[in-house]
Amino acid sequence: MWVAAGQFSVSADWQANAQECVALMRTAAERGVSLLVLPEALLARDIADPDLSVKSAQMLNGGFMQQLKAQSRQDNLTTILTLHVPSTAGRAVNTLVALRGGEVIAQYQKLHLYDAFNVQESRLVDAGSVVPPLLEVGEMRAGLMTCYDLRFPELALSLALQGADLLVLPAAWVRGPLKEHHWSTLLAARALDTTCYIVASGECGSRNIGQSRIIDPLGVTLAGAGATPQLIMTEVFQQQVQEVRAQLPVLTNRRFALPQLL
């Protein structure tokens, strides 16, 4: 099965951002991709207005998603992304959506809000409260995560113990000292913790690092992007997950119970 991660610089214009998503979906579909992961918080972004993502929040039947659904009806992709959905007045939920056949087939509200490195996502965003179910994509079972979730191994491990073969991660990883190092290290660590593939898409631009990655179950980068708009892709194999888990059975060798999750 072919998987891809697409990255671009999110602008302040949600209609332009929708068209960027549609273009990446169309290209991925033309190249025979089954799973496409796009970045986090795609509606709108402006470095001069850090609240724009929430101010621009739309319902899942809004104009942004209608454009993506129209493209989805024309391809065989499963497309993963996140956008802000209104909750209460002035607030929103950072919502991951899985789109296939023109419909939202799964969604996940981000559990771990980015209250770190002088950013406070929880100021305007409500946290989710449910560990997402797995999503069937071809021969793979995909676990859903979003950006800052990457720093919390319990979620990735929980998804692997449910039976995930592959983890998807839309992200907008903020630039800063050592942040690129954290990103690459954590992606490899979560792959090794879980013996899962990881398909991670990072928004690029002046605020975020880009550097989308597709990682194999032994923590090896199979495909990687730099800091500019790009679509990366590679083939993944459920049989490789089985072979790695036979050689490195960390999921069955565990001696500690997973802490009770939500």
CB 101 within 8 A of CB 75: no
**Residue 134: how many CB atoms within 10 A of its CB?**
18
Interacting residues of 32 by C-beta distance below 8 A, sequence separation 6+: 2
Annotated active-site residue in 110, 121, 196, 204 = 110
Q: Would you call 179 a catalytic residue per the annotation?
A: no
Annotated active-site residue in 20, 40, 121, 203 = 40
Residue whose pair of structure tokens reads 């979906």 in the numeric block? 25
CB 60 within 8 A of CB 42: no
Interacting residues of 236 by C-beta distance below 8 A, sequence separation 6+: 1, 2, 3, 140, 166, 197, 214, 216, 222
Q: Determine the Cα–Cα distance for residues 175 and 184; give it in Å rounded to an integer.
A: 13
Q: How far is CA 76 from the centre of its chain?
A: 19
What DSSP state is assigned to residue 137?
E
Q: Tell which residue, 102, 165, 109, 176, has the closest CA to residue 137.
A: 165
The letter for the amino acid at 60 is L
Report the length, in residues, of the chain.
262
Structure tokens at 248: 């490195």
Q: Would you call 204 a catalytic residue per the annotation?
A: no
Residue whose pair of structure tokens reads 């089954």 in the numeric block? 34
Annotated active-site residue in 147, 196, 203, 204 = 147
Q: Would you call 69 a catalytic residue per the annotation?
A: no
Catalytic residues: 40, 110, 147
